[in-house]
Amino acid sequence: MSHRFPIRVYYEDTDLGQVVYYANYLKFIERGRSEWLRELGIDQQRLIRDEGLAFVVRRVEADYLRPARFDDALEVVTTLTSATGSRIQLDQAVTRDGETLFQSTVTLVCVDIRVMRAHRMPPALIGALGG
């Protein structure tokens, strides 16, 4: 099942040609991931505060397919592809009216923030992810 998160392109997201600046797609998918986790009931603030754990991006593969422009209504689509041990892999896309503009595969790692090393996800977290 995929999570969908709406985004509006603001002027600040664009270059002089009113096309979304390439790095901003990474910001868009970050927001999509945060909202996906929130919808699953995963409180990232609590995870950091109480368990000293956080998710960090380990790898991103990105394909820029079509430009988004100022004032476009976009949607970030996030789909879990795997969750094992300390890693989560997601497919994320930015779409406009059903057309894929940006496609990515993102690998997240759960880390102990005190030592910045990979840490196995707690059973409750894996359960929330559907595993």
Fold for the domain defined by 2-128: Thiol Ester Dehydrase; Chain A (3.10.129)
**Non-local CB neighbours of 106 within 8 Å, separated by 6+ positions:** 29, 33, 57, 59, 60, 61, 89, 90, 91, 92
3-state class (DSSP) for residue 33 = helix
Q: Can you name the residues that pair with 118 across neighbouring β-strands?
A: 111
**End-to-end CA separation in angstroms for the chain:** 13
Residue 56 identity: V
State yes or no: is 15 an active-site residue: yes
pLDDT at 65: 98
Segments making up each domain of the chain, as ranges:
2-128
Answer yes or no: is pLDDT of 105 > 70: yes
C-alpha span between 131 and 128 (Å, rounded): 7
Is the pLDDT reported for residue 131 higher than 70?
no
Which one of the listed residues 13, 15, 63, 112 is annotated catalytic? 15
Tell me the average pLDDT across 2-13.
97
